[in-house]
Amino acid sequence: MKKNRFLLCLVLLAAQVLPAQMLKSPDEFLGYKLGSKYTPHFKIVNYFNYVAATVTNQNKVEQYGETNEGRPLLLSFIASAENFAKLEDIRKNNLRITGILTDKPGDVNAPAIVWLSYNVHGNETSGSESAMKVLYELLNPANANTKEYLKNTVVIIDPCINPDGRDRYVNWQTQMVGKIANPGLEAREHNEPWPGGRTNHYNFDLNRDWAWQTQVETQQRIKKYNQWMPQVHSDYHEQGYNNPYYFAPAAEPYHEAVTPFQRSFQVEIGKNHAKYFDANGWLYYTKEVYDLFYPSYGDTYPTYNGSIGMTFEQGGGGSSSTTILMDNGDTLTLTDRIAHHFTTSISTLEIISKNNNRVMTAFKQFFDNAISNGVGDYKTFVVTDVQSSRINGLKKLLDVNGIQYSYSNGAALKGYNYFTQKDESFTTGNSLVISTYQPKGVLVRVLFEPKSKLADSATYDITAWAMPYAYGLQTYAVKEKLPADGKTVTASQPAALPINAYGYLIKYNSFEDAKLLAALLNAGIKMRYAERDFSIGNNKFAKGTLIVLKKGNEDKIGDLQTAAKQFNVPVTTIESGFMDTGFDFGSSKVHFIKKPRVAMISGKGTNSNAAGEVWHLFDQQLNYPITLINADRVDNVNWKNIDVLIVPGGRYKFLTDKDANTNLKNWVRQGGKIIAVDDAVAEMATGEWGIKMKKADEEKDKKEDAKPSYEDLKKFAESEHDGIKSYIAGAIYKIDLDVTHPLAFGMGEQYFTLKQDENVYEFLKEGWNVGVIKKDNYVAGFVGSKIKEKIKDAMLIGEQNFGYGTIVYLCDNPIFRNFWESGKLLLSNAVFLVNQ
């Protein structure tokens, strides 16, 4: 009996702890110790699905999308059983707090939503490994702490924002490493090949894409984000392996739009993390490097959406494999890296749980304030250019960010004109109106205000991005709240095109129109463009207008109709090729567009982001075929198969070395076209191509060097600050365009360029200086005083004939991160219109 009773006790005891044993830890599920090696993405997915299937009353997984390479994108929702049962009510209540949902008032006595995102950079690999441990400990019944925190928080885990990049790294590392991982730097597993695992399939940095949403991962994620609007967003990264751990508070500069609560609470969170790091003797730093300014990061974008947005940086990443010898003689292991990310994940949850009321109240205040008082100095942004198809791109951007807009008719106002940079009177006839009196008011301010407020201090990224410049749209910033009539302007849907016409005309104003051009070329439609303005009756058409003649396209009119509908572009039918003013369609001023066979340089030597931007533009946006040629295989190319070669930013022997580019030069002489972009132009300036970089005013420099100057006596501690005089991260300059050149068709008289380096070029003596920067063309963003001197009176967009062929110089990167919409038209013009 005694014995049996003892057994019974054991059975009872076992029953009590059974749930804990039932849920397998990552170690148990995977069959190896977390941190001993990297886990491929499908096994991470398996673990998250397994946990959701096991703890059904507290956890579920939702697949919110798929990557370019077909990997699933997941969110895992974790809550107490009580909250989990009413998760949808919690979500809706949260949206009511923000004012996005308006059916009834929101209640701040609700759980805070904490969203933890891991591994946005694919080769910062400890993130997703940590996510599994976090998930387990949140649901481990033996963990009394997390059980307590979940009473008033709901946790959303995105275990891997960038599965394609992560697997690119993990598959490579797994192939490189032996049974015993080698911590020595010289071992091959520490030397990741081009393009590295940081970015997604198209080499895009997903942590620069939150606001622009050019990438499929971001597009699908932000849709979900806007349905939840979390109070906290944590973004887990890795940095150089010698660096100590970084957590909030963030570094200066903060954008002015960051609220005092968002600022001060970052400090409280940081101190909570510090408590655990101190107890373990771990090294860390705060308030340095990672600022809160550029709006498209995983910390700033949530911040401008009312959240406490934070970046976390563990030492490690692509070069560190699973173990690496640090400069200080310590060995950093994947196990260490997981421990640190795990600690800050749980610590974040702890501090939010303990301050639930304050966090929820401040969150509500953030939105109440925007809705009732507007945000910033300029309360309303009025886009007056709503006739051109350019507006379609901007509307898409507003829609995906959940920004409301309306239309206004005929009010007389005063506002800041983005194009002239002056205060002017204007009327709002039929304008698009974006008000800051709305839940997303702060985001509107940050994306639209003409000059973002930045203290004189180093920032990690570009310092100017105002949307009217990026989209090339005539806009006014107005200080008043503007009543909007809510009427929408709908572009006239093209009616059925008559078959019996002489031809069809399409006005050419935007990248949307370039997409239509690409679609029509793909459909085999014979296309022409007008080099000069013309008119038929009262109908005026600007240079660049696309012409489809019926002759030769008889069986394609249906395709034209379909494409015009798809891109929402109106088509004008004409009955005659005789123009009332301007040239007839038989004139040599009307050019046939030969469908170009386009190639680009890719691979080692290329800046992988820059290559990815061109690739994505053609493959995903223009839907136009492009051949990717590796830079080290240029010698082997049969140039006869190619009409246009795009050379993205990078360092290339074949551009600088005379012997290496004979074939290429011959091809251009015989009619080929090179489009050199960004620092590829700088490379060409060092070779014998005919373009020269403009030097700073040397005479002046020499004079200054000659005599002693007290300015040379700098303080050691100010060395960083002094460097800023020669610093430009990304500022906006106005470029004056030669509107008669096909490169500038559809662009208007000026183009606003995002200037990211000090490189400018001498005016071309033989060729066309299509885009030049004159003095006083600076518009917005931080430019160091030494550089400011240099950027003037120079060429930045040009074309130079080379035999029968041509070279197009786009000296800045016009498609940077693919969000500079007007730059996409510039590159399209270079490909499709120049030298036709």
| Binding stretches for Zn ion (CB under 5 A) | 121, 124, 237
Which one, 127 or 468, has the nearer CB to Zn ion?
127
Range 190-195, long-range pairs (CB < 8 A, 24+ positions): 190/319, 190/320, 190/321, 190/324, 191/319, 192/123, 192/318, 192/319, 193/604, 194/603, 194/604, 194/606, 194/608, 195/608, 195/611, 195/612
Q: Which is nearer to Zn ion, 237 or 665 (CB)?
A: 237
Comparing CB distances to Zn ion, the nearer of 247 and 745 is 247
For every residue of 602-642, DSSP letters joined together read ESTTB-HHHHHHHHHIIIIII---EEEEEGGGGGG--GGG-
Cβ-Cβ contacts under 8 Å for 229 (sequence gap 6 or more):
94, 95, 98, 100, 113, 305, 306, 307
Minimum distance between the CB of residue 326 and Zn ion, rounded to whole angstroms?
19
**Least distance (Å) between residue 348 CB and Zn ion:** 17
CB of 552 to Zn ion, least distance (A): 53
Nearest to Zn ion of 161, 629 (CB atom) = 161
Task: Tell me how far, at minimum, the Cβ of 198 lies from Zn ion, in Å.
Answer: 7
Smallest distance from the beta carbon of 217 to Zn ion, in angstroms? Answer: 15
Strand 380-383 versus strand 331-333 pairing type: unpaired
Handedness of CA 236, 241, 245, 248 (dihedral sign): negative
Length of the chain equals 836
Decide whether 197 or 439 has the Cβ nearer to Zn ion.
197
Which residue number, 60 or 121, has a Cβ lying nearer to Zn ion? 121
Minimum CB distance to Zn ion smaller for 118 or for 469: 118
Instruction: Specify whether the CB–CB gap between 121 and 115 falls below 8 A.
Output: no
Q: Do the strands 72-78 and 308-315 form a parallel or antiparallel pair, or are they unpaired?
A: unpaired
The angle, 0 to 180 degrees and rounded to 10, between the axes of the packed helices 356-373 and 87-98 is 40
Alpha helices in 429-479 (DSSP H): 441-448, 467-471
Q: Of 196 and 441, which has the nearer Cβ to Zn ion?
A: 196
Question: CB of residue 124 vs Zn ion: minimum separation in angstroms?
Answer: 5
Q: Which residue is nearest to Zn ion (CB)?
A: 237
**What is the smallest separation between the CB atom of 203 and Zn ion, expressed in angstroms?**
15
Nearer to Zn ion, 121 or 208 (CB): 121
247 Cβ partners below 8 Å, 6+ apart? 269, 270, 273, 284, 286, 310, 312, 313, 344
Closer residue to Zn ion, CB minimum distance, 111 or 317? 317
**C-alpha to C-alpha distance for 464 and 454, rounded to whole angstroms:** 10
Taking the complex as a whole, how short is the minimal distance between the CB of residue 345 and Zn ion, in angstroms?
16
With respect to Zn ion, which residue has the nearer C-beta, 239 or 806?
239
d(CA 646, CA 654): 13
Please report the DSSP string for 708-752 in residue order: --GGG---GGGHHHHHGGG-BSSEEEEEEE-TTSGGGTTS-SEEE
Omega cis (within 30) before 439: no
Long-range pairs for 260-268: beta carbons < 8 A, 24 or more residues apart? 261/358, 261/362, 261/365, 261/366, 262/303, 262/308, 262/362, 262/366, 265/308, 265/355, 265/358, 265/359, 265/362, 266/308, 266/310, 268/351, 268/355
Report, in Å, the least distance between residue 321 CB and Zn ion.
17
Minimum CB separation from Zn ion for residue 447, in Å?
Answer: 23
> Please, which residue, 124 or 164, has the CB nearer to Zn ion?
124
Distance, CA of 436 to CA of 647 (rounded, Å): 41
- Nearer Cβ to Zn ion (80/459): 459
Closer by beta carbon to Zn ion, 99 or else 316:
316
Distances (CA, A) of 786 to 401, 790, 794: 37, 7, 16
Report in angstroms how near the CB of residue 287 gets to Zn ion at its nearest. Answer: 18
* Distance separating alpha carbons of residues 510 and 395, to the nearest angstrom: 13
Rounded to a whole number of angstroms, the minimum distance from the CB of residue 241 to Zn ion is 13
Least Cα distance to 815 among 699, 577, 623, 646 occurs for 646
Least CB distance from residue 209 to Zn ion, whole Å?
A: 13
- Give the span between the Cα atoms of 460 and 67, in whole angstroms: 28
- Minimum distance from residue 311 beta carbon to Zn ion (Å): 8
Alpha carbon distance 244, 432 (integer Å): 48
